[in-house]
Amino acid sequence: MPPDAPAAHASTLLAMPADHPAALTVFWFSGERESGPKVQIAASQWDRATQQWAPARFLVNRHVLGAALGFGVRRLGNPVAWMDGSGHIHLFVVATGWGGWAASRILHLRQSSDGNGLQELAFAPVRVLPLSWLWNTSHLVRNAPLPLADGGMVLPVHFELGIKYPLALRFDSRGAFLGMARISRRTYALQPTLLAKTPTEWLALMRDERHGGKVIAARTQDGGRNWNDLPDLALVNPDSAVGGMALAPGQMLLAHNSSPASRAWLDLSGSADGVAWTPLQALEHGATDDDEFSYPAMAWADGSVWLSYTVDRHRLAWQRFTAAAPVGVKP
């Protein structure tokens, strides 16, 4: 944690190139409390030589962003990272002016420093993503993008003003925004995570804001152009984010809260088809419902599956599964 930052939430993991000193970069928002005026985007890197996380530092400040954009930024949250075809890091960050999270816009930032080592890494705003006629408000980002064979990616986001529904945003290999498609017709689905079964068949698994909900599912069979809703999964969802990834055909992972009424249990499950899921590992099981382990993020780096998640909104935790772990990862 950075100094004097007692709160942390919404981490995202970015795998670094094989010749980089760091295996991973992790970004999250941190400050005195969620939505607090001192919240900034923080980062750390896992050093391959020392096998440790470097001391965290702040990278994105709302005042600096506001000055560059020409309008005030009241709060920051939910950074999501992606590396383009030229090796530059892009950050997509939720930001608000007046109003709460439902009045958010998604800011697109691009690496402005020559290198992407932690101590030199810096970002500059590209623009607010043009997602709606209503001042581009009420769109939020949370989960990692899905990389494409052409070097571009698809970024999962959601809309949440009054109703909630998920969207897939497409970008080219340089980070230029190309367009979007609605993932689900449901009005209570948010924070999609994308898993590719094949190059053209993908699943979107989503948080359900309803009481007593399940993990929501949708599918595309044409590379994201058209989406269809699927029946809910058998996995309970206590209005909490999920994080997933597809390691190989028939080998999918999902980190999710498995307690019906709280975020006190965080588990890892596996699936061959994305429909039937089997428990693989208990990541965290709290002593009471007041414990919280939430907002899991996943990445593949150095022959391992890495997970990060929030603990009680105060700090981050991480776990690493090697090829010998029960998730069945192969080198």
**What is the pLDDT confidence band of residue 136, given thresholds at 50, 70 and 90?**
low
Task: Give me the half-sphere count of Cα atoms (radius 13 Å) on the Cβ side of residue 48.
Answer: 15
Strand ranges for 151-264 from DSSP E: 153-159, 165-171, 177-182, 189-196, 202-208, 213-214, 216-220, 228-230, 236-237, 243-248, 251-257
Q: Which of 139-143, 240-244, 319-323 has the lowest mean pLDDT?
A: 319-323
pLDDT at residue number 225: 95
Instruction: Write the pLDDT tens digit of every residue in 223-259.
Output: 999 999 999 999 999 999 999 999 988 899 999 999 9
pLDDT at residue number 45: 98
pLDDT over 70 (residue 328) = no
Instruction: Write the pLDDT tens digit of every residue in 69-106.
Output: 877 788 899 999 999 999 999 999 998 876 667 778 89
Average pLDDT of span 290-308: 96
What is the percentage of the chain residues whose pLDDT exceeds 90? 80
pLDDT at residue number 327: 37
pLDDT at residue number 138: 86
* Cβ burial, residue 98 (10 Å; 0-12/13-18/19+): exposed
Q: Comparing C-alpha atoms, which of 208, 227, 278 is closest to residue 250?
A: 278
- Cα separation, 108 vs 92, in Å, equals 5
